[in-house]
Amino acid sequence: MSSLRIHDLSVREGTRELVSRISLHVAQGEIVAVLGPNGAGKTTLLEAIAGLRAASGTVTIAGQGGPSFAQRAARLNYMPDDMILPEELTLGTALALKSGAAMVQRLGIEPLLSVRASQVSRGESKRAQLAAALTLQRPVMLLDEPFGAFDPRQLRALLPIFREAVRGAAVLVTIHQMHIAERLADRLLLLSQGRAVAVGTLDELRAKANAPAAPLDDVFLRLLDEDARHEPF
């Protein structure tokens, strides 16, 4: 079964708790968007699930609990936000992308494959990284800000392709742009200071924020404000 289940996941760095007791289940075919202000722990959460950071709690990937890093690596795919590709290599070699591959053609990056990573824009690099992530078919996908460098026209074309490509996987994706999260995600996880402030569908979050028809960014701000009022000093 392609699903991701995390229970009581915490990440500490010295005395600071970067992620605090997060529990979540992402079902096969479900997209959960992780939202939160800067420093909320979105990237740390993804890194902990991927096994790139020491964490407490349990992570079950595709039915396997507490897997080693190699076992996790075989079942999930991770696309970091701020990765810089080796400038000596072409995009094709750096990401092992072959011309003619379905995702390469659908994202229109075939001409970029023979171009050095040092000579492409951030958006082009990001597009190639996303193509590589979507090409690697794994049961669980962890994507950190995959849409950050796309212009609106590209996004309009990309989102349906993305949805189709991840159809069989459990996807946890961090997103800063609320309108994308609104369009793409089945459920939303709102983080603040490493804690889960709210989890649910957009309607469930609206209900929690007492804003039945509000757009997601209003809901987001209301829930954060509400959380800040209850935050102990």
| Residue 54 near another protein by CB under 8 A | yes
Give the nearest distance from C-beta 207 to another protein in angstroms. 37
Site string for another protein, 69-98 (x = CB under 8 A): xx-xxx-xxxxx-xxxxx-xx---xx-x--
Helix (H, G, I), strand (E, B) or coil at 33: strand
Nearest C-alpha neighbor of 92 from the set 66, 129, 55: 129
Give the residue with the Cβ less far from another protein, 55 or 196.
55
Give the residue with the Cβ less far from another protein, 73 or 214.
73
In Å, how far are 24, 39, 183, 189, 219 from 172, measured between CA atoms?
10, 18, 15, 9, 20
Distance, in Å, from the CA atom of 190 to the CA atom of 199, rounded to the nearest integer, reads 6
Give the residue with the Cβ less far from another protein, 7 or 53.
53
Among 41, 51, 146, 194, interactor with another protein by CB under 8 A: 51
Give the nearest distance from C-beta 162 to another protein in angstroms. 18
Backbone phi and psi for residue 98, each to the nearest 5 degrees, phi listed first:
-105, 140
Give the nearest distance from C-beta 85 to another protein in angstroms. 7
Please answer whether residues 195 and 140 qualify as being in contact, where contact means their C-beta atoms are separated by less than 8 angstroms: no
Give the nearest distance from C-beta 72 to another protein in angstroms. 8
Radius of gyration in angstroms for the set of CA atoms belonging to the chain, rounded to a whole number? 18
Helix (H, G, I), strand (E, B) or coil at 177: coil
| Residue 127 near another protein by CB under 8 A | no
Give the nearest distance from C-beta 12 to another protein in angstroms. 10
Give the nearest distance from C-beta 166 to another protein in angstroms. 16
Residue type at position 84: I
Q: To which H or E segment does residue 194 belong?
A: none
* Segment interacting with another protein (CB under 8 A) among 20-28, 50-58, 176-184, 204-212: 50-58
Distance, in Å, from the CA atom of 99 to the CA atom of 79, rounded to the nearest integer, reads 20
Give the residue with the Cβ less far from another protein, 136 or 155.
136
Distance, in Å, from the CA atom of 209 to the CA atom of 190, rounded to the nearest integer, reads 12
Per CB under 8 A, residues contacting another protein are: 47, 50-54, 69-70, 72-74, 76-80, 82-86, 88-89, 93-94, 96, 115-116, 118-119, 132, 136
